[in-house]
Structure 1
């Protein structure tokens, strides 16, 4: 397993992060435990979840699943860099969503109980809350940090200017601030190259791309559809995207055949190769999918393949503001 620093911190994390959004509804608990066992076996030490994951059963179910896995062998907790998130709606009750100081502190306590642990290594703000001032957000997070219940703070689904606001507010308080940003990033979705990734790199933040295969669209969807084995790629964001990108996906899968590599490994290897990327968040539904993702760490795409991928799925070509300056 390859390891790297989490942004500007001294914390070492694996270059793949095991995402657990499928645990509960798509992956049952025994299977989820096997996937986490396999991840640790590979040396993958970075585990990501969220307080609202498992909503297909009930919100919080995924954290409970992970907590029961830790309880079976307490050594697992010390081997794991544990990340979870706060900010999504947990119920229709007032103050049970967003980034108020009350909700941040109460949600952290609830996550700790579900996860059966005394600390969260990386506590991520799941979405921007435009109603919450940063002074309030950092006040709550400072409390949790001082209590040792949270060790690092990250963001998720932020814009570049949200990152800047958060970091400047943290600097005024003389605290470390955000150390990571988790964003949607893959060959199809490259808008973060305009401002978000440059902002994250400027502030020394880790970039943790979620959905590196765009919901299965880049995981060999056409071959799976022909074979009748498509699951995730036959639902969600992949469905409308396939209609829009069908010709490009067909050319992409042909390129993968020329490389004699599985499309999922090629798509993941591309994300791993991007400047600023720390650890893509993968969401395997099986041990076999996890093994395939780990194999992508050893795949170095040749320059001509990278050029062809860039032609098939062009990004912004430059970061802002140069990207929209015309002569």
Structure 2
């Protein structure tokens, strides 16, 4: 999720006045030949922010901005972990997929739609995982909620230690042959499992994963150690989530919010070291005549193998602001300065 822009701030006003309509750019997703917008609309908090009634307007704004890539999951939206003050309780919310499905009416074919499964979706011991039984059941449920007959990109949401990867990939291959999903991705999988999946797919002539979704931003760069080089070597795209680190890399005003960062999911807030990096990003962005969210996203989109960044905008205004980053190109010196920040090397 990204923080809203404080348009009353005198320090931000000159930057915002210079913003123009985003000229969306596109990347090829892995080896698919399918082009996706460099900004992807995330829907994890659909039903909370935006509330269900406002989701249609946000999806429409995304399409108007040239965003053709939308990310969701079978567990998004109506779980207690997404609760926050002022929002409907989990029991009163619909799944994010269902809200998104209504918003996609008449627009479905304009979008590349990604969803996922593995999370806990019910009380039964088998209501989670990557078994053939669960995957097929969840694909059918997602198709109903999304009001579509196919899913463009289907992720394994997390690794499942109880199910052999061979079974999971074979199930995905069957679903591709049935026309229910088009391509497969892996989410939150370490590099060794991504590589293992490619070996299995090659050995058994199965459809191989084309994308890896992972948390990745200027502050959290663990993906660069092994996953990034593996994806670059084997032709997978990286699709980062939390590209603005819960809004901290978008605007320091997020620190004034009652709920921010991983607090949105029942976890802790920001650490002092994270705030220090964000403060430097803020200073650099203003010196370069840009907004922090533009600098943070432009840096991420410049990294090897990164195809598109998932932004969980809560309003069309936030989405428009983030979309402007797709048209920002930082020079080598600027990129190097930002890269050094996470290593503790301040300008």
1:230 deviates by 6.7
Residue-by-residue CA offset, 1:15-45 (whole Å, 9 max, x unaligned)? 1111111211221122211111011111111
The partner residue of 1:55 within 50, 60, 78 is 78
What is the alpha-carbon distance in structure 2 between the residues aligned to residue 203 and residue 307 of structure 1? Answer: 25
- Cα 1:149/1:277, change in 2 over 3 Å: same
Residue-by-residue CA offset, 1:246-284 (whole Å, 9 max, x unaligned)? 333222211122112111111111101111110011110
- What runs of 5+ residues in structure 2 fail to find an aligned partner? 1-23, 80-89
Does 1:244 pair with 2:244? no
1:154 deviates by 0.5
- Cα 1:68/1:262, change in 2 over 3 Å: same
Does 1:304 pair with 2:304? no
Residue-by-residue CA offset, 1:138-172 (whole Å, 9 max, x unaligned)? 22212211110011011100100010111111111
Contact in 2 for aligned 1:157/1:183 (Cα 8 Å): yes
**What does 1:1-327 align with in structure 2 at a 5 Å threshold?**
1-56=24-79, 57=90, 61-71=95-105, 73=106, 76-221=107-252, 223-225=253-255, 228=256, 231-233=259-261, 235-236=263-264, 240-314=269-343
- What runs of 5+ residues in structure 1 fail to find an aligned partner? 316-327
- Cα 1:142/1:302, change in 2 over 3 Å: closer
What is the alpha-carbon distance in structure 2 between the residues aligned to residue 247 and residue 136 of structure 1? Answer: 45
RMSD: 1.9
Query: What TM-score, normalized by structure 2, do the two folds share?
Result: 0.84
Query: Residue 241 of structure 1 aligns to a residue in which SS?
Result: coil
1:180 deviates by 0.4
What is the alpha-carbon distance in structure 2 between the residues aligned to residue 60 and residue 143 of structure 1? Answer: 29
Bigger RCO of structures 1 and 2 (CA < 8 A, at least 6 apart): 2
Matched pairs, number: 309
What is the alpha-carbon distance in structure 1 between the residues aligned to residue 118 and residue 303 of structure 2? Answer: 28
Query: What TM-score, normalized by structure 1, do the two folds share?
Result: 0.89
Stretch of structure 1 that moved more, 303-312 or 203-212: 303-312
- Cα 1:301/1:242, change in 2 over 3 Å: farther
- Cα 1:97/1:234, change in 2 over 3 Å: closer
Query: Residue 219 of structure 2 aligns to a residue in which SS?
Result: coil
Contact in 2 for aligned 1:60/1:114 (Cα 8 Å): no
- Cα 1:136/1:224, change in 2 over 3 Å: closer
- Cα 1:116/1:201, change in 2 over 3 Å: same
1:224 deviates by 4.5
Contact in 1 for aligned 2:217/2:245 (Cα 8 Å): yes
1:307 deviates by 2.4
